[in-house]
């Protein structure tokens, strides 16, 4: 099979959200800390009737319906998530309900978990399967679904929630350049979830920021080396049209892109102009630890990177800024923003993708885009995702209500024997929701 990649996409996120400027006021932090400091506009969250399973069910059924895919045509279903609802039973098995109803139980795949990286692992599994000798000719389906919630404090405004479903097969408008993939993985305690009684992570914010940038550097350098070895010519940022990053919050994305600009200066590639060399050259002698701590370098690089950031990154920031960190879905929601904003004009473009999961696992890979045909075309994907409508029909919730809900969810986490609220008026038709958890911890869902 040729040009294996993403044929179709759907995104679902809860219609409930909180505005970051309202949250700044409520938390009593300085004005602008979340909106400018973190670069975030809004944060999505699951109300008590939604969770990663219901969001996954909604995203998958909506994708199958809108692209008119017969559920029997799915041969592999992979889920990426770091939201633990059950330590054994995969989210994938919940999604099997959709396929059992059509008599299709012959579907490989389970869940992949490592912080925000699980969606990428799931995606690679599907792409690899289609490219392999065990492929049976059917589609792969990837679901990234997460609800990111943090304990009260500095990390809370970096939460978010959402699910992205992607259909995988050959002759895709979004094709993988599978030869050019580079990873960086190591053992670090930057963000982890050791307390099984709590949904909240233990997080070392500063360390996680440095680890992210360090992994980015490492992946980019390796990507360039692999490309140069295979293609026999130099690779630089000028060879890519767009850059899409895992987006815990927008400020880190701005810093990441600036870091790549600095990396090209340090690599002394031919495409770097004189003014960039002049402004950033002096920092190339810094030791790696120092270079992550240097505020002067960070500022100078962001300034040099700004025009290209606006062109090559900004179109992929819409949903992450509006929803917050969706963990495994975050990178793919950023990519969905790019399709939404640029659709057909992406024909012939190369898009760089950077996936980061704390702990840590990271990969940089690239996609080659073509307009495609019919249902599986960039313009149709943008139309189906209908992102403006989804963003514009959300309900803003006041912080008091949000905190009250967080307390309820803390109490319910890992619990049994409860029935959820009967008020589902805020959900769109077709949305799945949690109705109850019985005395044996079994979860039940219904479709509105």
Q: Which of 82, 224, 298, 340 is catalytic?
A: 82
Give start and end residues of each alpha helix (H) in 352-417: 378-385, 387-392, 399-412
**Stretch of residues binding ligand ACO (CB under 6 A), selected from 31-39, 214-222, 341-349, 432-440:** 31-39
Q: Is 116 a catalytic residue?
A: yes
Q: For 138, left (φ over 0), alpha (ψ -120 to 50), or beta?
A: beta
Q: How far is CA 312 from the centre of its chain?
A: 18
Phi and psi at residue 258, to the nearest 5°: -60, -35
When asked if residue 37 is in the footprint of ligand ACO (CB under 6 A), the reply is yes
Q: How far apart are CA 320 and CA 248, in angstroms?
A: 8
| 358 near ligand ACO (CB under 6 A) | yes
Helices 52-66, 91-100: inter-axial angle, 10-degree rounding: 40
The verdict on whether 211 is a catalytic residue reads: no
| Least gap, CB of 119 to ligand ACO (angstroms) | 12
32: preceding bond cis by omega (within 30 degrees) = no
Among residues 154, 269, 403, 424, the one that binds ligand ACO under rule CB under 6 A: 154
**Minimum CB distance to ligand ACO smaller for 35 or for 431:** 35
Identity of the residue, 268 or 303, whose beta carbon is nearer to ligand ACO in the bound complex: 303
Give the Å distances, CA to CA, from 407 to 205, 276, 326, 400: 23, 49, 20, 11
Question: Which C-beta is closer to ligand ACO: that of 104 or that of 337?
Answer: 337
Binder to ligand ACO among 61, 112, 144, 158 (CB under 6 A)? 158
CA–CA gap between residue 374 and residue 412 (Å, rounded): 45
User: Can 17 be counted among the known catalytic residues?
Assistant: no
Nearest to 159 by CA among 171, 147, 169, 167: 147
CA pair distance 166, 130, nearest whole angstrom: 14
25 near ligand ACO, judged by CB under 6 A: no
Interface with ligand ACO, residue 257, by CB under 6 A: no
Residue among 158 and 366 whose Cβ is closer to ligand ACO: 158
Name residues contacting ligand ACO, limited to 61-80 (CB under 6 A): none
- Give the integer Cα–Cα distance in Å for 133 and 131: 7
Nearer to ligand ACO, 203 or 434 (CB): 203
Binding site for ligand ACO (CB under 6 A): 30-33, 36-38, 116, 154-155, 158, 191, 203, 205, 208-209, 212, 248, 251-252, 325, 358
Q: Active-site residue numbers? A: 82, 116, 246
């Amino acid at each position: 099979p040729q040009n294996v990649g993403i044929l179709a996409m759907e995104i679902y996120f809860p219609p409930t959200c909180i505005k970051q400027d309202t949250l700044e006021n409520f938390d009593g932090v300085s004005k602008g800390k979340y909106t400018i400091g973190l670069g975030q506009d809004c944060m999505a969250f699951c109300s008590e009737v939604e969770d990663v399973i219901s969001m996954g069910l909604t995203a998958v059924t909506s994708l199958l319906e809108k692209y008119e895919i017969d559920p029997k045509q799915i041969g592999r279903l992979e889920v990426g998530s770091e939201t633990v609802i059950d330590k054994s039973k995969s989210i994938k098995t919940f999604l099997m309900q959709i396929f059992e109803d059509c008599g299709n139980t012959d579907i490989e795949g389970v869940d992949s978990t490592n912080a925000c990286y699980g969606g990428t692992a799931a995606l690679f599994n599907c792409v690899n399967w289609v490219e392999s000798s065990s492929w049976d000719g059917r589609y792969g389906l990837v679901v990234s679904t997460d609800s990111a919630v943090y304990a009260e404090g500095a990390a809370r405004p970096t939460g978010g929630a959402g699910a992205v479903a992607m259909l995988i097969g050959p002759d895709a408008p979004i094709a993988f350049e599978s030869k050019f993939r580079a990873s960086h993985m190591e053992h670090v305690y930057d963000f982890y979830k050791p307390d099984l009684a709590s949904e909240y992570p233990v997080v070392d914010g500063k360390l996680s920021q440095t680890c992210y940038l360090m992994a980015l550097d490492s992946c980019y350098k390796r990507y360039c080396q692999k490309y140069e070895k295979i293609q026999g010519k130099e690779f630089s940022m000028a060879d890519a049209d767009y850059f899409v990053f895992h987006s815990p919050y927008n400020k880190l994305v701005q810093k990441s892109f600036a870091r790549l600009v600095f990396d090209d200066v340090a690599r002394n590639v031919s495409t770097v102009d004189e003014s960039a060399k002049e402004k950033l050259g002096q920092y190339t002698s810094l030791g790696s630890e120092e270079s992550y701590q240097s505020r002067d370098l960070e500022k100078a690089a962001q300034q040099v990177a700004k025009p290209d950031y606006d062109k090559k990154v900004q179109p992929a920031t819409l949903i992450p800024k509006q929803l917050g960190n969706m963990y495994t879905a975050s990178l793919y929601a950023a990519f969905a923003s790019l399709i939404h904003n640029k659709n057909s004009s992406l024909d012939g473009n190369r898009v760089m993708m950077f996936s980061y999961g704390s702990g840590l696992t990271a990969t940089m890979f690239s996609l080659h885009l073509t307009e495609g045909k019919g249902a599986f075309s960039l313009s149709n994907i943008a139309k189906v995702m209908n992102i403006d409508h989804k963003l514009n029909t959300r309900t803003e919730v006041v912080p008091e209500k949000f905190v009250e809900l967080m307390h309820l969810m803390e109490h319910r986490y890992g619990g049994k024997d409860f029935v959820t609220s009967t008020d589902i008026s805020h959900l769109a038709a077709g949305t799945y929701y949690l109705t109850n958890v019985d005395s044996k911890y079994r979860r039940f869902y219904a479709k509105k």
